[in-house]
């Protein structure tokens, strides 16, 4: 996606305003593309490059937008605050990527949406959609059932997305390309990150909430180790998926989540 430069200063205000609107729409498309790559499990090196490009384009855009606003008597303190917040959070995520994590991704994308309130920007917060079909056939490792439903719309959608991803991993043939396996493992990691982040934002304060968060931290550490073991050949993907991952997901839903989100 190429960001078209804003029209020269001697153009009419109408043309300049239209050019700025077009530039903002292009930024929204670029943000949408980055969010889609994240969902597909793209390498952090690719995401970092695209995010840095987005940051540069956003900076150029905002300089022109602010100049245009000032020339026509406008004052946009909230836009400036949103822009500053977004750039700071992008820089934090780029630092995360360099350290091999991505824990601040969702806070960053909330800031992007505040700066670009455009329907083209993919919604990745709150109701996390399942990424595969819900048609659980006989080959499904985990069949979605009433036993897994908590009756809380957003959390059931998150859990279903996790079940779908585990079922996809279980269906991978032994001769599957490593890149496809890595992409699904990365999607699983990010879906779990997102889900735990949203749960923790909604937990009530108290000892049980602290216990819930501690359980999340333990599960994330175990998940990271298992992904490393699979990628290094120390563990078999199907054994991991059919064993620990399914067990902890079902147990966490039916015990800790049911206790803390269905009162």
Q: pLDDT, tens digit, for every residue of 162-203?
A: 888 888 888 877 767 777 788 888 888 888 888 888 888 888
**Does the pTM exceed 0.85?**
no
Structure confidence at residue 7 (pLDDT): 46
Tokens for 140?
């499904």
- With contact defined as beta carbons under 8 Å apart, do 146 and 253 qualify? no
- Is the predicted pLDDT of residue 146 greater than 80, yes or no? yes
pLDDT at 98: 84
- Tell me the torsion sign for CA atoms 54, 48, 127, 138: positive
pLDDT for residue 121: 45
The pLDDT value given to residue 129: 42
Per-residue pLDDT, 84? 92
Could you state, in order of their start, the residue ranges of all structural domains in the chain? 13-115, 146-261
For residues 163 and 142, the answer to whether their CB atoms sit within 8 Å is: yes
- What gap in Å lies between CA 228 and CA 232, rounded to an integer? 6
Are 256 and 212 spatial neighbours (Cβ–Cβ below 8 Å)?
Answer: yes
Between CA 154 and CA 103 the distance in angstroms is 20
pLDDT of 29 > 70? The answer is yes
Binned at pLDDT 50, 70 and 90, residue 51 comes out as very high
CATH of 146-261, one of 3.40.50.2300, 1.20.120.530, 3.40.50.11540, 1.20.120.50: 1.20.120.50
Which one is predicted more confidently, 139 or 160?
160
Phi, psi torsion values for 194, nearest 5 degrees: -60, -50
Q: What is the pLDDT of residue 2?
A: 53
Q: Give me the helices (H) in the chain, please.
A: 13-40, 44-71, 77-98, 105-115, 153-171, 178-202, 207-231, 237-240, 246-252, 258-261
Q: What percent of the chain has pLDDT over 90?
A: 10
- Long-range Cβ contacts of 192-196 (<8 Å, 24+ apart): 192/162, 192/219, 192/220, 192/223, 193/102, 193/103, 193/105, 193/106, 193/220, 194/106, 194/124, 194/125, 194/128, 194/158, 195/128, 195/158, 195/159, 195/161, 195/162, 196/220
Gap between the Cα atoms of 242 and 121, Å rounded: 35
């Amino acid at each position: 996606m190429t960001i078209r430069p804003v029209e020269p200063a001697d153009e009419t205000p109408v043309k300049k305003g239209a050019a700025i609107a077009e530039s903002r729409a292009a930024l929204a498309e670029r943000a949408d593309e980055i969010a889609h790559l994240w969902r597909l499990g793209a390498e952090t090196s690719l995401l970092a490059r695209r995010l840095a490009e987005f940051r540069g384009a956003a900076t150029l855009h905002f300089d022109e937008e602010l100049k245009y606003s000032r020339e026509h008597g406008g004052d946009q303190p909230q836009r400036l605050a949103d822009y500053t917040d977004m750039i700071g959070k992008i820089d934090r995520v780029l630092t995360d990527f360099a350290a091999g994590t991505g824990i601040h991704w969702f806070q960053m994308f909330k800031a992007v949406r505040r700066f670009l309130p455009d329907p083209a920007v993919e919604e990745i917060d709150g109701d996390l959609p399942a990424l595969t079909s819900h048609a659980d056939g006989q080959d499904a490792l985990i069949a979605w059932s009433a036993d897994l439903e908590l009756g809380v719309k957003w959390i059931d959608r998150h859990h279903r997305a996790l079940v779908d991803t585990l079922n996809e991993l279980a269906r991978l043939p032994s001769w599957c390309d490593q890149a496809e396996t890595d992409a699904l493992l990365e999607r699983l990691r990010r879906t779990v990150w997102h889900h735990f982040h949203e749960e923790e934002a909604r937990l009530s304060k108290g000892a049980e909430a602290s216990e819930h968060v501690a359980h999340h931290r333990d599960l994330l550490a175990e998940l990271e180790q298992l992904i490393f073991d699979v990628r290094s050949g120390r563990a078999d993907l199907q054994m991991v998926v059919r064993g620990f991952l399914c067990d902890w997901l079902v147990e966490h839903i039916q015990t800790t989540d049911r206790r803390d989100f269905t009162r």
